[in-house]
A and B are shown apart, each in its own frame.
Chain A
């Protein structure tokens, strides 16, 4: 059964962006939590790929195991009705050093 909410949803899209981990110490505990909190704001499923390792951006256990160090290039992908918004927010997070400069 299709709910009224689903009827109004924009079609699911898939996007990908590449960003560099600018934080000197890489994706350690605090940046991981910032990524999870951002990814969970959206309905799309976002993923982060670092080398051969892939992690669900909304799952802290997976991101903590990525082990992406500072300067590493990671690929962000998202699939869902708000994939572009999710990717924009995640890219902004990486570009603003996870908000630690504020």
Chain B
């Protein structure tokens, strides 16, 4: 699917019925891919990289355009089971147009970030910045999910919450890799600022993006370290919860077993003294019940 847009009044607005300066290709079809390769002269390998979630971020100079492969957080779906993944995006900056290639529908050009835009370079840089902001927000979500999972683990013995924590740990590895990869891209953008033709304002914006990305990386690293270090403690808590349950079940079993033993002894088919006594039943019952008390006393004496 292709969305055509253009710059108007400092904002990106959709255009209908004609080609816009800004073209967003969402999960391009084979026909659209051929158009990108044949007409817009995008390198086929670079285009494949833009659609490959495992590809690293990079910057490439082509004869008539600049190709950026950017990492961004993938939209979370309920089927992901707490695995937050990353996706790639391609930004192809020409002198007269900006082509963006994405694998999934992402609300682009939203918020204050996409105001006061004057050139296509501004738009391209803001998409890079938006990706960093997107990572930061997803990190907050991961932190909130991690907190909730820890609360669940404190009162549960189910493995699923621990497995979910492992999924979060894996997600943070993906994110760290993606953010680190984006850092290389932004650094190269700054190094080649003159060659690309960035204005002083653009360079200032890139500097902000570098700082923001660095902070994002550090935040992801901290969350990852905390999660990794707390994992062993969480495993012990689950194990301890299970031990408590086993102890409770054992108490219940012994409380039932000892009176059963007493009653079983008196149920043997041999003559017992006092069998004919009118209070024999009540005596055996009292003995059975007092055996529970005896077990309890031993339990407390041994401090089990």
Contacts and interface: CB of A to CB of B under 8 A. Distances in A.
B141 A32 contact: yes
A41 interface: no
A61 B149 contact: yes
Contact of A100 (B76, B107, B145): B107
A100 B77 contact: no
A25 B75 contact: yes
B110 A61 contact: no
Given A65-B78, A67-B78, A25 B148 contact: no
A102 B76 CA distance: 22
B112 A102 contact: yes
A64 B75 contact: no
A28 B149 CA distance: 18
Contacts of B92: none
Interface residues of B, number: 24
Nearest to B146: A60
Nearest to B112: A102
Given A33-B140, A33-B144, A61-B148, A28 B77 contact: yes
Interface in A1-30: 23-25, 28-30
A66 B111 CA distance: 26
Contacts of B107: 23-25, 100
B106 interface: yes
B79 interface: yes
Chain A interface size band reads: 10 to 19
A102 B141 contact: no
B152 interface: yes
A60 B144 CA distance: 7
A36 interface: yes
A25 B145 contact: no
Contacts of B76: 28-29, 64
B137 A33 contact: yes
Given A64-B78, A67-B79, A101-B111, A24 B105 contact: yes
Contacts of B84: 29
A63 to B, nearest CB: 9
Interface string A44-64: 000000000000000111001
Interface string B35-47: 0000000000000
A25 B106 CA distance: 7
A59 B149 CA distance: 10
A33 B139 CA distance: 11
A25 B107 CA distance: 8
A102 to B, nearest CB: 6
Contacts of A61: 145, 148-149, 152
Contacts of B149: 61
Interface in B69-112: 73, 75-79, 82, 84, 104-107, 110-112
A101 B70 CA distance: 23
A22 B73 CA distance: 21
A101 B144 CA distance: 23
A29 B105 CA distance: 15
B4 interface: no
A60 B141 contact: yes
Interface in B103-138: 104-107, 110-112, 137-138
22 contacts: A24-B105, A24-B107, A25-B75, A25-B104, A25-B107, A28-B77, A29-B75, A29-B76, A29-B84, A29-B141, A30-B138, A33-B137, A33-B141, A59-B148, A60-B144, A61-B145, A61-B152, A64-B76, A64-B78, A100-B110, A100-B111, A102-B112
Which 8 interchain pairs have the tightest Cβ spacing? Answer: A67-B78, A29-B76, A29-B141, A28-B76, A33-B141, A61-B148, A28-B75, A60-B144
